[in-house]
Amino acid sequence: MTRIITLVFIATFLFLIGCDHINPEEEIPVYFTIEDIIVDEDYAQLTDAWVYVNEKLIGVYELPAHFPVLESGNANIRVVPGIKVNGIAVSRGPYPFYQPWEVEKNLVPGQTLNLNPVTSFREGLNFQWVETFQFATTTLEAYDSTNTTIIKTDTISDAPSSTAGAIIVEPDSTFTLQSVEQYFLPSDRDVYLELSYKTDHYFEFAWHVQNLTDGSIREARIYQFNPTDGWEHIYIYLSNFIDDYNVLNHKFRFLFGGNNITDESKYVYLDNIRLIHY
């Protein structure tokens, strides 16, 4: 009888030890909450937070976010603003022109840490083209084949700034607007065109690329805009398209255009156009 009790005790002891190995004590995380990333401009549309703790990437989180972090003690937290590149949900990346936000915190397992990142443009950027429709003249003009123009207006109640550019496309008509200037663009660094827009119709963004050696011009369509429910802000990555050209002897002119085959007037509103690179 004593032998049976002893065997039962040993078996129970070994079973408990085995359970500890199978189900080790789980680490208790600290939780981060990030509602959004504040930008010193109203026209940004930051969708993601790239979160680093002690220089290690913890993850990329769509905002607003609440997530666990298996770290404790004093830590450096860095949040890098993220965007949908070209407005595509599956093409996300850190926006290279915004400052990362950093803070030192003591991480206590089980607690929730509310983070409130703030960012702004980095220093040393080249804003090669800026159009905010704040001045009497604009940097967009009608293309040769159209009479449609863009007008400055302050009557759009939900515009991201006090004024915006308005294009009214009449029934059964087209419009094409081009940048007044042509631009040299670099091929060895990131180049983005960002802008705010609101529209009830489809329109396109394209460019004319002039070869300065023989004067020839090539047109390339880059992006199609779809109707929106409100104002959107998009970051169009141009570097992949620039790679098709020898930038030393090509200049780039930007175009917006579309056609209205309906029997109703359509509108395209633009604002905060920025061509940015280092």
What DSSP letter does each residue of 237-252 carry, written as one string? Answer: E-HHHHTTS-GGGEEE
Cβ neighbour number for residue 271 with a 10 Å cutoff: 24
Which pLDDT does position 42 carry in this prediction?
67
Whether residue 11 contacts residue 18, with contact meaning beta carbons closer than 8 Å, is answered with no
Which pLDDT does position 23 carry in this prediction?
53
Residue 190 has pLDDT above 50, yes or no: yes
Which pLDDT does position 40 carry in this prediction?
83
Looking at domain 30-119, its CATH architecture is Sandwich (2.60)
Beta bridge partners of 183: 252
The model's pLDDT over 7-38, given as tens digits with 9 standing for 90+, comes to 334 444 444 444 445 555 788 999 999 999 99
Comparing C-alpha atoms, which of 122, 115, 3 is closest to residue 63?
Answer: 115
The model's pLDDT over 224-243, given as tens digits with 9 standing for 90+, comes to 999 999 999 999 999 999 99
Which pLDDT does position 43 carry in this prediction?
83
Q: Residue written as tokens 């609101």? A: 198
What CATH class does 126-277 carry?
mainly beta
Sorted by where each begins, the domain ranges of the chain are: 30-119, 126-277
Strands (E), 124-231: 126-131, 140-142, 151-153, 164-169, 173-179, 191-199, 203-211, 217-225
The model's pLDDT over 79-136, given as tens digits with 9 standing for 90+, comes to 999 999 999 999 999 999 999 999 999 999 999 999 999 999 999 999 999 999 999 8
Mean pLDDT, the chain, integer: 90
Is residue 22 helix, strand or coil? helix
Mean pLDDT of 200-216: 96
